[in-house]
Amino acid sequence: MNLNKIGFVGLGLIGGSIAKKIKINHPDCEIIALAHRIETILDAHAMELISNYEMPSLTDFSDCDIIFLCAPVEKNLEYLKELKNIVSSNTLITDVGSTKTQIHKIVIELGLENQFIGGHPMTGSEKTGISNANEYLLENAYYIITPTKETTSQQVDDFYALIKELGSIPLILDYEAHDYATASISHLPHMIAYTLVNLVKDIDDENETMKTIAAGGFKDITRIASSSPVMWESICMTNQAPLIDLMDKYIASLSELREDIQKSSSQALLDKFQSAKDYRDSLTVRNTKSYNKVHELFLDLADEAGGIAIIASILAFKGISIKNIGIVHNREFEEGVLHIEFYDEESVELAAELLIEKNYILHRR
């Protein structure tokens, strides 16, 4: 894949981080960008990240080798329609949206299937904007690739190689399979969290007893309800069918559990709880019980040989024991590549102090 000129439509956290990594890997590549605010363009130009210092028109993207659509999903659809009559036949267009079916259907309608590959980097942060973009954001994060029916094997191979260059872990999925999977493991849990928080808010007493004693399991399961309301409204609007199907399945499952409780079906309850525990314990990264306080740190880490060993040595030298350590591959609504778990709060605080001294970027939850 030629990388002489790359365009970014939207240059926030994700787009900016991709651009920074590409610029490091290909310093001679020209990058141009369009953004919602002129301040973003000026900041990116001052960083020597992009060549334009004024807001470009979409016609300036006509000769790009690849264009990343990094605006909100609905805006990406608008830009895609305009780009159809602008870009060269050799230009590959991709996006970074967290839902894929809607944009793929527009691509089919526009006859752009031979020039489009969907993308979804499963990383992010509550921080936004080009000022928070960094070249490590995509390190060891899953990056879902959704080709079209007309995407050639060479296009897939080239794009796959580019994603690996970003430091990410590419996974190729059908776009509908992608939306159902992400609705299951990401979108539905957020709907449950939002609903549970609102339920407790609505039934709490005038002394806010529930809010006062809320801890442990409630805080663990509802932490994600602090995510951006605007972003989640957009996700609901662009992934309706899979989400509604899964909500129906969840309601049926919850109703079945309710019936087991009502009938005092002890064995049925034990079987359900054991099955859930076994599956949850099989997941990587964190295997602690949710009602125990977790002593943990998350930090950015370049994918370099010996990186984890260096951190382990820094902590071991000070006598700090590590309970668990691992790479977080899906961190779409999280921060930090590396997850480190400790046995107590004192160890967390000392470890944080040591790692900050060594210029590591830490994230606390």
pLDDT at 334: 61
**Confidence grade of residue 116 (pLDDT, cut at 50, 70, 90):** very high
pLDDT at 332: 61
CATH number of 5-173: 3.40.50.720
96-105, 329-338, 354-363 — which one is most confidently predicted on average? Answer: 96-105
pLDDT at 287: 38
pLDDT exceeds 70 at position 284: no
pLDDT at 297: 87
Lowest-confidence segment of 39-43, 56-60, 295-299, 361-365 by average pLDDT: 361-365
pLDDT at 330: 64
Contacts of 351 (CB under 8 A, 6+ apart): 297, 315, 320, 340, 342
3-state secondary structure of 49: coil
- The amino acid at residue 47 is M
pLDDT at 7: 97
Domains 5-173 and 295-363 share a fold: no
Average pLDDT score over the chain = 88
**Paired tokens of 104:** 């793929």
pLDDT at 365: 63
What is the percent of the chain where pLDDT is above 70?
A: 93
**pTM metric for this prediction:** 0.73
- Which class in CATH covers the domain with range 178-279? mainly alpha
pLDDT at 101: 94
What is the percent of the chain where pLDDT is above 90?
A: 58
Ramachandran bin of 17, using left for φ above 0, alpha for ψ from -120 to 50, beta for the remaining angles? alpha
According to DSSP, residue 64 is labeled -
Q: How many Cβ atoms sit within 10 Å of the Cβ of residue 331?
A: 24
13-27, 112-126, 227-241, 292-306 — which one is most confidently predicted on average? Answer: 13-27
pLDDT exceeds 90 at position 156: yes
pLDDT at 89: 92
Are the C-beta atoms of residues 110 and 249 closer than 8 Å to each other? no
Domain residue spans of the chain: 5-173, 178-279, 295-363
pLDDT exceeds 50 at position 286: no
**Paired tokens of 10:** 């939207």
3-class DSSP string for 218-271? HHHHHHHHHCCHHHHHHHHHHCHHHHHHHHHHHHHHHHHHHHHHHCCCHHHHHH
pLDDT exceeds 60 at position 292: no
**Paired tokens of 346:** 């004192």
As a whole number, mean pLDDT of residues 60-83 equals 93
CATH number 3.30.70.260 is the correct assignment for the domain at 295-363 = yes
**Confidence grade of residue 140 (pLDDT, cut at 50, 70, 90):** confident
